[in-house]
Structure 1
Amino acid sequence: MNQYAFSYTYSMQGLLKGPPVHQANYAFLGIAPVQFDDIVVRRDSRYVHKSMPGLTGSDNALVNSSSHYKPAVLLSGNKATRLAFQENISRSTVVQLFTHADATTAPDSTGLAEPTIFFADSALRLSEIQASQHVATQLVLLLACKTGLGINQKGEGVFSLARGLASLGVPSILTTLWSVEDKSTYRLSQLFHEQLATSLPKDIALQQAKLQFLDEASTLELLPSEWAGIILIGNTDPLTSSSPVGLWIIGVLVISGSLGS
C-alpha cells in the first residue's frame, strides 16, 4: 500500500466515525509564527531557505479565538515550530494555526508534488503528517490558500492538507476552495468559535458566523472571495463537552492569500 492509499484509508475512517474518546491535554492550542523570515524547506535530498510575508495580528487573533476554551496554550513567534505542532495536535482538542500553506510544492526527483504547511522554523509536507490511533479531536479548521485542493491521485481522489489531517482520525474539517484573506479570516474564526460555544451543529455555526460577518462587512468584504471559500467536510454534529477540559474542538487556521504563499 503506497503512502497515499494509506492516507486514504485513515481519511475515510476519520471522516465517518463519531467523536473520539481519547482525553486531551489541552482544550485549545494556538500556533501563529507571525513572521516567516527563514523557513527551512526540504527539496528532495536538499534543504533550502525561504521567506514569506508576515501575518500581522495573527497572534492577537489567537487570543480572541481561545477565549472560549480552558486550558489554552498559545505559541506565537519563534515558539510556533513544526515540532510543537506535531507533538501537540493529536492531544489538543482545539488547535488553531495562523500561517502560510502551499497546495502543491515543486516535485522532487520522484515526481512527487504535495501540499505543504509552514511553521516558524520549517515546513511540513502532507506525507509527513503521521496517522494516529490516539487523537482527541473533533474538528480541524484548515483555512489557508486552497487547503481543500491538492494532488489528484487516480482512483483515490484529491490528497490535500485537509485529507492529511483527516488521516489523523479527525471527523470534521473546515477547509478552503481558494485563497483566503487574513483579516476576514481572523474575524470569521472568532465568530465561528462564538457560535460553536452555543452548542450549534458545526455547519450551522459556520453559516451563522458568515451571516454575522456579512452584517458587519464593508463593501469590499461583501465580495464572496472574502468569506465564501470556507467549507465544512465530515461530521456536522455539535461539539461535545464530555472532556474534563471542556468543549472538544481543534481548529487549524492557515492564512495566506493576499499576503502571498
Structure 2
Amino acid sequence: MLLRRESYHSGQIALERVLMRRSVDTHDAAMIRLLLGQAAWRGGDTATARRAFGQALDTLRALGAVPDEAEALGRLGDLEAGAGRPLAAESLYQRGLDRLGTRPAPAVAWQLHAGLAATLRRRGELANAARELHAGIGEIERVSGSLQLEEHRSAFQADKWDVYVELALVERERGLTEAAFEASERLRARQMLDLLARGHVATPAAAGELVNREQDLRRRMAELTGQVEGPGKGEPGMRDAAQPERAASAASEALARTQDAYAELLVQMREANPAYTALVRGEIVPAPEVRAALAPDEALLEYLVGDSTTIIFVVTADSLAALDLKVSHSALSAQVDFARSTLASPTEGAARRAWRASLRRLYRQLVAPVEASGLLAGKRRLLIASHAELHYLPFAALVEPGPPEQLLVQRYILEYVPSASVWLRLRDRPAPARRGGVLAVAPRPAALPGSQAEVASIRRTYGDRARTLVGAQATERAFRELASEQEIIHLATFGVLNKHNPLFSFVQLVAGGGEDGRLEVHEVFGLTLNARLLVLSACQTGVGAGAVADVPPGDDWIGLVQGFLYAGAGNVLGTLWPVADVATARLMERFYGELATGRSEAEALALAQRAALRNPGTAHPFFWAGFALVRGR
C-alpha cells in the first residue's frame, strides 16, 4: 500500500523490518528484496536499489527459481535503462529471456520483451523493437485469451496497455500506419468488443446459495443507500442528485463494500452460467473496413495518448494518416482538467471568459495540425474516438483562433465512438423494426421543473406517437415494461456517477413494484432495447470510470452509455458534467424539433448547440457543450 501511494521511503523501511523476521524463508526474502529495490529506485536511491536487486538475483539463481531470477534480471535492466545505460539494460533483458527459454512465465516474459524493445527503439532498431513488442503482447494475450469472462480479461490487462501504445508508436516510426492503427485498436474498448462478440446471454436460474446471497446483498444495499442519501435534494436547478459528504460516513463505506461484494457476486453468477464456458473474443476491424464505412464527408479522428506523446489517426473514405501531436499524457491531462474547471460554472466577470484561452490551446494541439495537413478538406462530420482524459473533453467547444474565432461545433457535426471496431460491430447489428414509439420520462418534476417542460415539448413534437411518464407514473417497473418497444427513449431526471464502482452509476426513476427506482449500469446491461436513440438528459451520464482506475489505461470504460449501447440502443446522447435544468429543457426542445424534420441525431444536436451558442443567456459552453452523442449505427 505504501508503494502504491508513492510513499517509497516509508515502504522501504517497512520492507527492511519484514526482512528482519526469522519466519521469512530464503525465497520470500529474495522476493522482498526485489520490492525493496523497487522502493529504493523509485525514491531515488539507486545504490540501495542495485544492491537489493543484486542480492535477490544471487539468491534466486542459487535456489533455481528461474522465473523469479528472470524477474530480477528485468528489474536490474529497468534500473540501468533509467540510469541512461541502454546497452547494459539490453544485455540484462536478453539474459532474462535466455534464462526463461521455453518456460511458461508470461507475467515476467512480457515485461522483459517490453524492456528490450525500449532499448532497441532508443538505438533506432525499430524492426527488432516491433518484434519484441509483438512477442510481449503475445505473452499477455496468451493469458488473457484463456480467461472466460470479459471482466477478468480487462482486469488482467489493466496495467499492460503501455505495450500496445509503444507498438503503435514504433510502427508509426517505421512508416507502417495501418499496423500502428491496428495496435491502437487492439488496446481500446476491448471489454465492450468482446461483449458484443458474445451477444446477449440469457441468465439461467442461479443456485440457491447464490440467489440467497444476491437477495441479501440487494436488501443491504437498499438499507445503506437510505442511510447515506437521506431526504436531501440536489443543487437547485441542476440535474445532479444530492450527494452528501461521504468520506467520513460509516454507512457510506459499508455501502461501497456491499456494492463491491455484489459486483463480485454478479461475476460468480456469470461464471456458473454454461453459456460462458465458450471463449469468445471480439476481433478488431482492419483499416480498409473502417475507410469503407465512412461517407465522403466524414473523418474519424482516433487519439492515442502515450506517456511521451500523443498520436492521432485520421481515417477518411480514401486515406489513413497518423500525426504526432507532440503533447505528453501528463501535459494533456493537466490541460483537460483546467479546461473543465473553466467550464464548470458560467460565473460573471473575467472567469466567465476564461474558458476560451484553455480551449483555444487544446484546439491548437489536438485539431489544428490535422486541419493544416489538409486531411479535413471537404469534411462536415467528425467521428471522435477519444483516449484517456480526452473522454472528458467537450470537443464541440474547442476554439479555432480568428479572426473571427469559431468553435468546432460551428464548423463540424461531431459524434463520438468507443473505438472504430466497436462502432462497426454496433453498426452491423441487425436493425430493429421501426415501431415509431417515443417514451419520455420525468420522474422528479417538482425538483426539476424543466424536465416536465422538456417531456411536454416532446409530446407536442411527436403527438400521439409519444408516451410521457411524469412524477409517480415514471417508475422503474413502467420503464422496463415499455422501453423495448420504443424507437426513441428520453430520460429527464437526476443522474449519479459512481466512480468507485461504475456498475452502480444510475439514473433516478420512481421506486415501486419491487424496484428501487435506481436504474443502475449493471441492470442496463441486462435490458433489451430496440431504440434508434436514447437520451440521458441528466448529470454526467456520458462519462464513466474503469473497473480498477478512474481513467482506465485500456479505455475499458464502464458507464450508462456503454450499458445502453450494449442493450441495443442505436445512438446514446449523454452529458459530460452536471447540467442546468431549464437550459437543458430549451436545448432539448430545439434538438427534437430538428430531429422531427428528418435530420440525423448528430445534425440535430449540432443545430441545437449552435442555437444555444447564439443566445447570450446560454452562449457559455457550460449550457450546451456537455452534451455528447455516441454513435452506434
State whether TM-score is above 0.5.
yes
Per the alignment, residue 118 of structure 1 pairs with 508
In structure 2, what is the Cα distance between the partners aligned to 1:8 and 1:126? 18
Per the alignment, residue 89 of structure 1 pairs with 483
Give, in angstroms, the shift of residue 27 of structure 1.
1.6
Q: Is the 8 A contact 1:138 1:172 kept in 2?
A: yes
Match of 1:222, SS state, is: coil
In structure 2, what is the Cα distance between the partners aligned to 1:228 and 1:206? 10
Q: Is the 8 A contact 1:188 1:209 kept in 2?
A: yes
Q: Is the 8 A contact 1:115 1:161 kept in 2?
A: yes
In structure 1, what is the Cα distance between the partners aligned to 2:591 and 2:482? 22
Q: Is the 8 A contact 2:489 2:531 kept in 1?
A: no
Q: Is the 8 A contact 1:27 1:71 kept in 2?
A: yes
Per the alignment, residue 104 of structure 1 pairs with 498
Match of 1:68, SS state, is: helix
Are 1:31 and 2:437 matched, yes or no?
A: no
Per the alignment, residue 9 of structure 1 pairs with 195
- Normalised to the residue count of structure 1, the TM-score between the two structures is 0.71
User: What is the identity, as a one-letter code, of the residue corresponding to 1:180?
Assistant: V
Give, in angstroms, the shift of residue 159 of structure 1.
0.8
In structure 2, what is the Cα distance between the partners aligned to 1:58 and 1:143? 9
In structure 1, what is the Cα distance between the partners aligned to 2:194 and 2:575? 19
From 56, 65, 69, the equivalent of 2:449 is: 56
Give, in angstroms, the shift of residue 71 of structure 1.
2.1
From 432, 451, 466, the equivalent of 1:72 is: 466
In structure 1, what is the Cα distance between the partners aligned to 2:192 and 2:631? 19
- The structure with the larger Rg is 2
In structure 1, what is the Cα distance between the partners aligned to 2:570 and 2:546? 21
Give, in angstroms, the shift of residue 67 of structure 1.
2.2
Give, in angstroms, the shift of residue 182 of structure 1.
0.8
* Higher RCO (C-alpha under 8 Å, 6+ residues apart): 1
Change (3 A) 1:141 1:113: closer
In structure 1, what is the Cα distance between the partners aligned to 2:519 and 2:194? 19
Q: Report the RMSD for the aligned CA atoms in angstroms.
A: 2.7
In structure 2, what is the Cα distance between the partners aligned to 1:198 and 1:185? 20
From 167, 188, 196, the equivalent of 2:587 is: 188
In structure 2, what is the Cα distance between the partners aligned to 1:131 and 1:7? 16
* Larger strand share, 1 or 2: 1
Q: Is the 8 A contact 1:7 1:131 kept in 2?
A: no
Give, in angstroms, the shift of residue 28 of structure 1.
1.2
Match of 1:104, SS state, is: coil
In structure 2, what is the Cα distance between the partners aligned to 1:131 and 1:90? 12
Consecutive unaligned residues of structure 2, counting only runs of 5 or more, are: 1-148, 155-190, 197-417, 512-516
Give, in angstroms, the shift of residue 84 of structure 1.
1.1
Give, in angstroms, the shift of residue 9 of structure 1.
2.1
Kindly tell me the number of residue pairs found equivalent between the two proteins: 211
User: What is the identity, as a one-letter code, of the residue corresponding to 2:509?
Assistant: F
From 611, 615, 620, the equivalent of 1:223 is: 620
- Superposed CA deviations along residues 29-64 of structure 1, whole A, max 9, x for unmatched, are 1111125xxxxxxxxxxxxxxxxx811242232111
Change (3 A) 1:18 1:183: farther
Give, in angstroms, the shift of residue 19 of structure 1.
7.2
In structure 2, what is the Cα distance between the partners aligned to 1:7 and 1:84? 30
Consecutive unaligned residues of structure 1, counting only runs of 5 or more, are: 36-52, 237-261
Match of 2:477, SS state, is: helix
- Normalised to the residue count of structure 2, the TM-score between the two structures is 0.31
In structure 2, what is the Cα distance between the partners aligned to 1:81 and 1:7? 32
